[in-house]
Structure 1
Amino acid sequence: MNPPNDQAIETPLRLDYAKSLAMRVVRRSEGFWFVAADVAAAMKLELAGLLQILGEPAGRLLRLADGEEPALCLSEGELDEALRRVKKPGARRLRRWWEEETRPALLRDNGTNGAAGTAARLHLALALAAEAAQQVSRAVMEDVLRGPGPWQHSRWVVALDYAPNNQQRWPHGRVIGLSSTVSTLGGLAERIAEPDKLPVTTVELIKLAAACHLRLAERMGRMTA
């Protein structure tokens, strides 16, 4: 038996899943639909094998704006069933990609910018998340390799430098102590001025005041020279 054929033309989101694989996702009023061939490829299965696992009839034929022939698409329930039945690393990776990263991002989108805007924001969010993970990983590795230290009880600061054209950037991250605070210079002055806002000792305040006095004296000397 052939799956039902929907005559409405849908514009799928083309979402980066792997280096050479884009996952096409259709957002409809009843939920998300996934091109079955893309799902099978992500799990490293033949489409016929995936359909055999699900049991026929499965899916629905949808007319997509980027294809001449209707494409077999799976509902969210069918995708969940496939992820439950397929015992492969590819299925576990697809589950994490969809349930933990992609679906929450799509649900937060209000749809005002259409499919193209949603896909662009999602690409940016995933790229920034991946870059942050790289930066933290490298910062941890470098600090641990330096030898014994407080890295196990430290926080980490990273600088996100995302390139819209997806050029690779060198990760930048470093460890900061639990007692450290990241602030702008203007914010630092405000925090010091308010009582109990920033825990600093008298010695630390004296050092800060002395350093500021020396810097001001240097600048005043340049102005009068």
Structure 2
Amino acid sequence: MTHPDPNIPQAPPLTLYYQGKPVRVLLHHGHCCLLADDILALSPPRLRHQLQRQLAEYPGCALTLPQHDSPQCGWPETALQRALQQSKRPAARQLQHWLQQQVLPALQQLPPDAPRWEQALAMAAEAGQQISHAVLKAVLEHGSDWQHSHWLLTLNYTASHPRRHAHGRLVALNSSATSLQALAQHIAGPDGSASRNGELLRLAMACHQQLAKRTEKQAWRAEAAEQPRANPAA
């Protein structure tokens, strides 16, 4: 098993889900490694023993995870795929299909340089933690009103921090956010908008003012284009 360099910061793991169970993925010396305990936890007993036996001779990765004092064992995705290919069990084929069709295509779209990978993993982990805490708190404290809760999430990433620290903050909002294109469709929909009449009236007035300004500018431009140019003095 290769051990990590303590002087090189390691990003938090990217957590994926297979059949509702978490699978943590980290970048280790340019290779994608999956946490061995997570793979074993979602595998049936026979497949679990087969993977342990086949991957025992392969040098695994020593992955440093938050809240763990000792490095955890990880399996490179190439070695894991070879072990799954040698198995004829349906669970192995399903896991291999998940790796090939969902995990690897998504990871191949990530930037090839390690700092961008670390930044993405750190911010994704922080965002997931912030949102999880907000949803848990809303459901427990707000009763049925949790379905109408909205938050604004701000994220920051400090590349110079020893552990590539990402920090975020959630701000509770009393209104929802939507794109400008979807706003008109939302208001004109069958259910309409939950906004009050006064709010809708102010929104309509603001739109009319913007249209009036743009129409006036277009009229000026058309008038200027129609005016004949002054003839130069003879």
TM-score grouping bracket, smaller chain normalisation:
0.3 to 0.5
- TM-score normalized by the length of structure 2: 0.43
* Structure-1-length-normalised TM-score: 0.45
